[in-house]
Amino acid sequence: MSENHLDMLEESVSKPALLRSGLVLMVAGLLWFGSIPALAQGQSAGAPTQQDVEAAAVPSADAVPATQGDAGGIPTSDEAISAGAALFKNNCQQCHAIEQVVVGPALKNIHTRRPVEWTAAFIRNSQKLIQSGDAYAVNLYNQYNKTQMPSFNFNDEEIMSLLAYIKAESDSPTGTGTNQASPGQGGEGVAPAESAATPGYITAILVVLGIVLVLVLVVLVLVLAVLRRYLNQRTDLDAADREIIDRRMSFRSVVSSKPFLFLVIFIFTAVVFKNVIDGLYQIGVQQGYAPTQPIAFSHKLHAGTYQIDCNYCHTGAYKAKSANIPSVNICMNCHNSIGTDRPEIKKLYAAVENNQPIQWVRIHNLPDLAYFNHAQHTSVGGIECQTCHGPIQEMEVVYQYSKLTMGWCINCHRDTEVKTEGNDYYDKLVQLHNEAEAGGKLRVKDIGGMECSRCHY
């Protein structure tokens, strides 16, 4: 504290005002600082869930121990097993699981229980076998409420690969079931926009800044006290100066001061403005929308517990623009014999009897101006359903998991790598991309995925 400073202080008419405004600034800073963690939290909501999903989707094929024993010529090669897995997923999984009974019996160790020829004949035409009087088949048929197994026209190779898969699964100690999340997908690249939380260093800077401001405030208060005490000891002050020194800082004068009012109004306006803008961005965004459906259908039960493939009900998911809400006849494939006495299931029968389709409430409402094609993303892009629809296998009531805003779409297009392997369509593009940027990943944005008329026409 030098004399020089003191003079300045003396000369300044508005020094109390200066002090006051310093205080106000500090308060404002604290307010702002306080709001940061809240914001950050808001933005990162849902990120842990995403990680859970990825953790849950542990690839199962790797876990299969390579057994050498040859059981009835069932191949053990990885190709056969993966071919079998694909067949199983597309054809069998709706009614069969390895470990437990779904519609049909559990298939664990079917290769040891029945001869291969018998299994093949049963798959190809179970009714023929039953009618031929095969005791095991007839017994099986009666045991499972005389539910007919559809005929599958597989060739020998396909049946062997199917058995290879079942054998591998049966031998597998974990027996993770059949949820074939393709390995490697979604691990990288497909990070949803929400998980982009505020970086840690910014938080640190803000904390340090807050501490510094508090310290400055403390120092200023101390300085003020010291100065006042010093001036009080002086006797050569005229009345006017004395008045300044004696003036007590009243709460009222602080509140009514212009800078304070300005700041209050400014902050208020800023907060309101920000919220309005944020609110406007939320118009039409129905994230979390979980309407009550006419039938309390549980995805947790069907997709989670029973692991019915999405494609079984949503027939268009891999081949069409729309994934399709299943028609009642698809429900009836199983529910003509399962849960026939439950009230929710009876609604299905009512629909059939009244010839009235079920009016499901639409959850995902993309605006008409945006064209979205499921096939492009699932069958070409190899994106998992869960990437956009969230942990659907855990949802008792389905809700809109993603924002479905353009920003959300674009962010994914920016980051996602194009699934080019094994697709001749991309050969030239990959080559050109490698020439231009050696080693750089070919992302959707690099093949025009950010252009307007990919989605708007």
Using CB under 8 A as the criterion, which residues of the chain lie in contact with other proteins when the complex forms? 271-272, 275-276, 279-280, 282-284, 286, 291, 315-316, 319-322, 324-330, 351-352, 355-362, 365, 367-371, 373, 375-376, 379-380, 422-426, 428-429, 432-433, 447-448, 451-454, 456-457
Q: Which is nearer to other proteins, 251 or 425 (CB)?
A: 425
256 versus 356: smaller Cβ distance to other proteins: 356
Q: CB of residue 149 vs other proteins: minimum separation in angstroms? A: 19
Six-digit token string for 456: 């708007």
Tell me whether residue 9 or residue 429 sits nearer to other proteins (CB atom).
429
Comparing CB distances to other proteins, the nearer of 70 and 424 is: 424
Q: Cβ closer to other proteins: 104 or 291?
A: 291
Phi/psi for 96 (5° steps) reads -125, 145
- Token pair belonging to 224: 């003020």
Rounded CA-CA distance 413/418 in Å is 9
CA distance 347 to 35: 49
Output 167 or 403, the one with its CB closest to other proteins: 403
Q: Which DSSP string corresponds to 92-112?
A: ITTTB-SSSBSSS---TTHHH
Minimum Å distance from CB 284 to other proteins? 6
Q: Please count the other Cβ atoms lying within 10 Å of the Cβ belonging to residue 250.
A: 9
DSSP result, 7-60: HHHHH-TTHHHHHHHHHHHHHHHHHHHHHHHHHHHHHHTTHHHHHHHHHH---S
Q: How far is the CB of 20 from other proteins (least distance, A)?
A: 24
CB of 32 to other proteins, least distance (A): 15
Contact 106, 98 (CB under 8 A): yes
Q: Least distance in Å: CB of 232 to other proteins?
A: 43
Nearest residue (CB) to other proteins, 4 versus 355: 355
**End-to-end alpha carbon distance in the chain:** 71
Q: How far is the CB of 343 from other proteins (least distance, A)?
A: 20
Residues 328-357: b if buried by 16+ CB within 10 A, e if exposed: eebbebbbeeeeeeeeebebbeebeeeeee
Beta bridge partner(s), residue 96: 101
CB of residue 270 to other proteins, shortest distance in Å? 11
Q: Who contacts 122 (Cβ-Cβ below 8 Å, separation ≥6)? A: 114, 129, 137, 149
Contact between residue 146 and residue 104 where contact means Cβ atoms under 8 Å apart: no
